[in-house]
Amino acid sequence: MFTGHFAVGFAAKKAAPKTALPALLAAALFLDILWPPLVLIGIEHVRIAPGFTAVSPLDLYDYPYSHSLVGALVWSAAFGLVYFIMRRYSRGAWVLGLTVFSHWVLDFISHSPDMPLAPGIEGKYGLGLWNSVAGTAAVEMSLFLVGVALYFSATTALDRKGKFGLWAMAGLLFVLQLVSYSGSPPPSVSAMAWVGILMTVIFVIWAWWVDKHRESR
Ligand SMILES: [Zn+2]
């Protein structure tokens, strides 16, 4: 999933109005923020295998630290705890922790059985929504529209930047998602990892800027 994770981050603003959007999106994307650096330094592994699923050309055969069930629980707790220590907003900390964990749930629904329970444990799981482009698009686009609508209803624009910045961001994410459904494989694993890192940085900064020009209702 791509915009499916953004959807949860946007929606979470409704549950934790005092938590900044960049933190909520970083939480929703957190397992995929950890993953590219782990791949680049050779701790986790992925193969580019065109047609591996209808949606994704990636054979995610080894990513137990970023994407196992136990890993996700640990990262969720750590994210919420660090936020609580920094901000003392317990509602925000709980929402962020749950948002980090939502990533594992959405990936479990999407991926072919490649998600481990814990590092070193045999057995991989996944419901394989990615075997259907139409099914994935229906689920993910619905999630995305609901998530953006919830963020929109939880906040109000302070100026034109807050208004158009949000629509531009949502529009670009929507287009990138449509393009990614074409399933064209990335040129290399390292190129894919760097693009992933770059896109996360751009969208988290964009979210910070949008959120600064909006306030909670
Ligand atoms: Zn993921």
DSSP string, 37-79: HHHHTTSSEEEE-TTSSSS--EEEEE-HHHHSHHHHHHHHHHH
Could you give the CA distance from residue 113 to residue 60 in angstroms, rounded to a whole number? 9
Could you give the CA distance from residue 44 to residue 89 in angstroms, rounded to a whole number? 34
At residue 75 the predicted structure's pLDDT band, cuts being 50, 70 and 90, is: very high
- Please tell me the distance between residue 35's alpha carbon and the centre of ligand 1 in angstroms: 8
- Please tell me the distance between residue 166's alpha carbon and the centre of ligand 1 in angstroms: 24
The distance between the two most distant Cα atoms of the chain, rounded to a whole number of Å, is: 53
pTM above the 0.85 mark?
yes
Six-digit token string for 7? 């959807």
C-alpha dist (Å) from residue 118 to 62, 95, 209: 11, 23, 37
State the average pLDDT for the chain.
97
Q: What is the pLDDT of residues 126-166, one digit of tens each?
A: 999 999 999 999 999 999 999 999 999 999 999 999 999 99
Q: Does residue 169 carry a pLDDT above 90?
A: yes
- Please tell me the distance between residue 160's alpha carbon and the centre of ligand 1 in angstroms: 33
C-alpha dist (Å) from residue 144 to 10, 182, 198, 204, 209: 9, 18, 21, 16, 20
Residue 20, helix vs strand vs coil: coil
- Please tell me the distance between residue 100's alpha carbon and the centre of ligand 1 in angstroms: 10
- Please tell me the distance between residue 89's alpha carbon and the centre of ligand 1 in angstroms: 27
pLDDT score, position 174: 96
Q: What is the pLDDT of residues 86-113, one digit of tens each?
A: 999 999 999 999 999 999 999 999 999 9
Mean pLDDT in residue range 16-40 = 98
C-alpha dist (Å) from residue 90 to 18, 64, 83, 84, 96: 11, 29, 9, 6, 10
- Please tell me the distance between residue 107's alpha carbon and the centre of ligand 1 in angstroms: 6
At residue 117 the predicted structure's pLDDT band, cuts being 50, 70 and 90, is: very high
Q: What is the pLDDT of residues 171-189, one digit of tens each?
A: 999 999 999 988 789 999 9
Which DSSP category does 185 fall into?
Answer: P
